């Protein structure tokens, strides 16, 4: 039975979502002190499932150090995924610091500042 083309993106989203949950659990098992309190924001999986871009933010810790440590641990994390995922190809993980939350906080601060200046006028 052939799958409809529209079901393929849904599978990709489900796989990305499962990878995000599993990698988040696996990261908690890492003992590397450079990895601060990280939150996985999103995962983008390539169409052939060979690569997964993992975007994270840091609550506590240094973003650059966390990114380096996560990328050094990518092979270990991928092996952990092999045991958890029921797919033929477990993607190579690539970690990227996601500045979206940082930018949102900066923007909120600018808006608050502008509103307080306007309120004083």
pLDDT of residue 60: 87
Residue 60: Cβ within 10 Å count: 8
Query: Domains along the chain?
Result: 7-120 (3.30.300.20)
**pTM for this entry:** 0.77
pLDDT of residue 114: 85
The pLDDT tens digits of the residues spanning 60-106 come to: 889 999 999 999 999 999 999 999 988 888 999 999 999 887 777 77
pLDDT of residue 8: 56
Distances (CA, A) of 65 to 37, 61, 95: 12, 8, 12
């Amino acid at each position: 039975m052939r799958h409809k083309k529209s079901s393929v993106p849904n599978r990709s989203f489900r796989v990305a979502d499962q990878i995000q949950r599993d990698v988040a659990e696996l990261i908690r098992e890492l003992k590397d002190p450079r990895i601060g309190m990280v939150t996985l924001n999103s995962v983008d999986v390539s169409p052939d499932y060979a690569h997964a871009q993992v975007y994270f933010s840091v609550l506590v810790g240094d973003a650059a150090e966390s990114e380096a440590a996560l990328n050094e641990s990518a092979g270990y994390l991928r092996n952990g995924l092999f045991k958890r995922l029921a797919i033929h190809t477990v993607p190579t993980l690539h970690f990227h610091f996601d500045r979206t939350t940082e930018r949102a906080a900066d923007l909120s601060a600018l808006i608050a500042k502008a509103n307080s200046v306007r309120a004083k006028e």
